[in-house]
Chains A and B, each alone.
Chain A
Amino acid sequence: MSVHQPLGGKLLTTPFIILSFFALIGGVLMLERFIFGLGAVSNLNNGYAWGIWIAIDVVIGTAFGCGGFVMAILIYIFNKGEYHPLIRPAVMASLFGYTLGGTAVMFDLGRYWQIYNVFLPWYGQLNSVMFEVALCVTGYIIVLWIEFTPVFLERLGIVGLRKKLEKFLFIIVAIGVLLPTMHQSSLGTLMVSMGFKLYPLWNTTLLPVIFLITAIIMGYAIVTFEALLSSAGFQRPYDTTILNKISGITWILLLVYLVIRFTDLIMREQLGLVLVGDLNSIMFLLENLFFVIPVVILASRAKRNSPYFLFISAISMLLAASLLRINTYLIGFNPGGGWSYFPSIAEIMVTVGIFSFEIMLYLIFVKTLPVLHRVEA
């Protein structure tokens, strides 16, 4: 008998109905996009050809989906079995983050009906970072669904197949760590080729390193966030001992990150731009303020045991890494030529719709599938 159990309970709660309303609006707008073209719903233009659908839905969305990746590193690679209760919810959140990020790409692609060209060897272009990201993300979505199959099998009571599958799961787990390492860093490399269009505070050849570390930080933050929220929301006890340990790891990662980030700025002699006082410098300061807040909070060992402080620092980290991505893809990006971009209401509603849909899936899954750890009686 498994240690995981479905929560059960009513599905059609008020929050669920509100979420489905947002998802529906997003769906209708998407339909409009496919009938009339991208310009009908978005403010995208030939200066800012990438907007929030790329920066938020895909780049931030998949970084939110790094929980499964980072927990797999801890549990299966470093053999820290005590974190086991968190793996299933983490993999599940990754599953949604990535699947929906991948779907969002389809909405954004201008010539989506030719998307399979990426997989045709005579078209694939090995120097393109986008090519690598496309292959790795697709691969990882498949890996996540395989990693999650035992949950379905368990629910259906298919024990034999599940045991067989789990024998080979280590291969999937290893690939499932490799792929996000590759594409989360490449989501940073993607912006290196922008040259002068990207403001020097964000344009560095270390973008792959910066994006990878912050994706890992985000992974641990989202695991903490989700664990605390589901404990509060479903009236379950807090797993603070595990979360305490995770926060220790994150604290070190944050320090490493900040050292790398600022050393890079100093070495490129761009540190002065931090205090210029324009939008770029304000956004940079804000971004890094949110990286510093959890460093300060988690320095205190006592606070690492408090659900309240853990929650604040998790949110702060999620904001920090998201801002880094928004700054790199939108704020720090200036194509010149008088172009400007601010997302349209419809664009924002599509993004809201996608994230609402993600939360709906979460609620359905935890209530009907053995995802959350059984609470000791």
Chain B
Amino acid sequence: MAINRRNFLKAATGSALTAIVAEEAQAFSPRETKELPPKAVGMLYDSTLCIGCKACVAACKQANDQPLEILESQQGWNEGAWDSAIDISAKTLNVIKAYTNGEMTQKDREVDGYAFMKRHCLHCVDPSCVSVCPVSAMQKDPITGVVTHNPDACIGCRYCVVGCPFSVPQFDYETPFPQIHKCQFCSHLQAQGKLPACCDVCPTGASLFGDVRELKEEAKRRLGAEEGEVYEFPRGKLGGDRDSHTAQIPKYQKDFYGDTELGGTQVMYLSGVPFDKLGLPTNVPDKSYASISEGIQHTLYKGMIAPLTLLSGLLFMAYRNRKHHDDDEQSPKEDL
């Protein structure tokens, strides 16, 4: 079969296109994932220490003036004595969830066992919510890394709700004047030198506040200790002056969560059952999603050079061709 011009052109266009796709995918490489802020504060939640008392849930409600949540199925008999949120919502910033399997006979065991999980904002190192918000309503403190929300800026587009990989920001659909609700790490209490309410009340030290770098060391110490070894688990704040909680080292998963996942999180987890069983996304890259989408935007809009070049080209063409179109009667000439 002879290669005629038409076929050749087709093949050439095809391979040129393939090259373009490869090129473009290359050009849209992610920006660098952000670094942990200098004085990053965070939390280490050790699921094996959690006894499911929900003191933190109640303390969180009080500290943040959030209303009780009564399940629809309990309307009628639950008159408000029991706050029964089963997940975070517009009314609940923090919740304790349970993983259960089979007979549920042993704590922190994957099969026939159960485990607790605390769910709230993870204060990501490179947060999607901050990256996607059009009006800077989500802010990450450059020193402490705490991610806060400013309702005065928020337009309620809910991009943060869909964009957060942990589905943390909660929008209120039941009111005409809604707002986004999320854990802001009790920054109002921290400003007064107090601990975040949940860490403050935790009886076992399962929710432990502290400097993120030190918390990582603590997590590694626990992971490095022998199973069954007697260990002093700090309470409240790592390096604080509270009595510790003495207990044996449990059987941990081999790593802690939040070191590198999606660029790292300032709230980190230790667990006896696999992290995906606790509802954490595990099949994720080490780079943040924000770095991927911002990579595209930064490539296309760097210094606005590409759009301005395109615009000047368009202006030139439109100006040059303007005469042919400014009068409907005139028959337009072809000169291209």
Q: Does A235 have its Cβ within 8 Å of any Cβ on chain B?
A: no
Complexed CA–CA distance, A78 and B325 (Å):
12
Contact yes or no, B293 A129, CB < 8 A: yes
Q: Does B241 have its Cβ within 8 Å of any Cβ on chain A?
A: no
- Identify which of residues 1-18 in chain A touch chain B, using a CB-to-CB cut-off of 8 Å: 1-4
Q: Does A272 have its Cβ within 8 Å of any Cβ on chain B?
A: no
Select which of B155, B161, B290, B311 is within 8 A of A112 by beta carbon: B155
Complexed CA–CA distance, A170 and B313 (Å):
12
B11 CB, nearest partner CB in chain A, Å: 12
Q: Does A38 have its Cβ within 8 Å of any Cβ on chain B?
A: yes
- List the B side residues contacting A259 at CB < 8 Å: 14, 17-18, 21
Complexed CA–CA distance, A123 and B134 (Å):
8
**Known contacts A111-B179, A130-B157, A205-B292: does B165 contact A174 (CB below 8 Å)?**
no
Contact yes or no, A37 B173, CB < 8 A: yes
**Known contacts A110-B158, A169-B322, A335-B167: does B17 contact A193 (CB below 8 Å)?**
no
Contact yes or no, A36 B329, CB < 8 A: no
Q: Does A345 have its Cβ within 8 Å of any Cβ on chain B?
A: no
Render A320-345 as a binary contact track against B, CB cut-off 8 A, 1 for contact.
00000000000001011101000000
Contact yes or no, A76 B326, CB < 8 A: no
A contacts with B: majority SS: helix
Render A172-209 as a binary contact track against B, CB cut-off 8 A, 1 for contact.
01110110011001000110111111000000111011
- List the A side residues contacting B137 at CB < 8 Å: 123
A114-122, A215-223, A295-303, A305-313: which lies at the interface: A114-122
Complexed CA–CA distance, A310 and B329 (Å):
29
Q: What residue in chain A is nearest B320 (Cβ atoms)?
A: A79
Number of interface residues of A (CB under 8 A): 86
Select which of B21, B180, B293 is within 8 A of A206 by beta carbon: B21
Contact yes or no, B89 A46, CB < 8 A: yes
B54-62, B77-85, B192-200, B294-302: which lies at the interface: B294-302
Q: What residue in chain A is nearest B28 (Cβ atoms)?
A: A205
Select which of A77, A112, A209 is within 8 A of B321 by beta carbon: A77
Contact yes or no, A76 B173, CB < 8 A: no
Q: Does A282 have its Cβ within 8 Å of any Cβ on chain B?
A: no
Instruction: Categorize the interface residue count of chain B.
Output: 35 or more
Contact yes or no, B165 A3, CB < 8 A: no
- List the A side residues contacting B158 at CB < 8 Å: 49-50, 110
**Known contacts A76-B325, A129-B293, A205-B25: does B311 contact A193 (CB below 8 Å)?**
no
Render A123-148 as a binary contact track against B, CB cut-off 8 A, 1 for contact.
11101111110100000000000000
B152 CB, nearest partner CB in chain A, Å: 8
Contact yes or no, A117 B153, CB < 8 A: yes
Contact yes or no, B324 A336, CB < 8 A: no
**Known contacts A79-B334, A174-B315, A263-B18: does B154 contact A114 (CB below 8 Å)?**
yes
Complexed CA–CA distance, A372 and B328 (Å):
13
**Known contacts A81-B325, A194-B162: does B135 contact A131 (CB below 8 Å)?**
yes
Q: Does A231 have its Cβ within 8 Å of any Cβ on chain B?
A: no
- Identify which of residues 261-304 in chain B touch chain A, using a CB-to-CB cut-off of 8 Å: 262, 279, 281, 283-284, 289-290, 292-297, 300-301
- Identify which of residues 18-33 in chain B touch chain A, using a CB-to-CB cut-off of 8 Å: 18, 20-22, 24-25, 28
Q: Which of B157, B325, B332 has the most CB of A within 10 A?
A: B157
Complexed CA–CA distance, A37 and B179 (Å):
11
**Known contacts A50-B158, A79-B335, A197-B165: does B173 contact A264 (CB below 8 Å)?**
no
Known: A114-B153, A127-B294, A196-B284. 4 other contacts (CB 8 A): A76-B321, A170-B319, A206-B28, A335-B162
Question: Residues on A close to B: CB < 8 A?
Answer: 1-4, 34-40, 42, 44-50, 75-82, 84, 108-112, 114-115, 117-118, 120, 122-125, 127-132, 134, 166-167, 169-171, 173-175, 177-178, 181-182, 185, 189-190, 192-197, 204-206, 208-209, 256, 259-260, 263-264, 267, 333, 335-337, 339
Could you list some 12 contacts between A and B, CB below 8 A? A45-B173, A48-B162, A78-B336, A109-B157, A111-B154, A114-B135, A124-B134, A125-B136, A127-B297, A128-B132, A205-B296, A208-B296
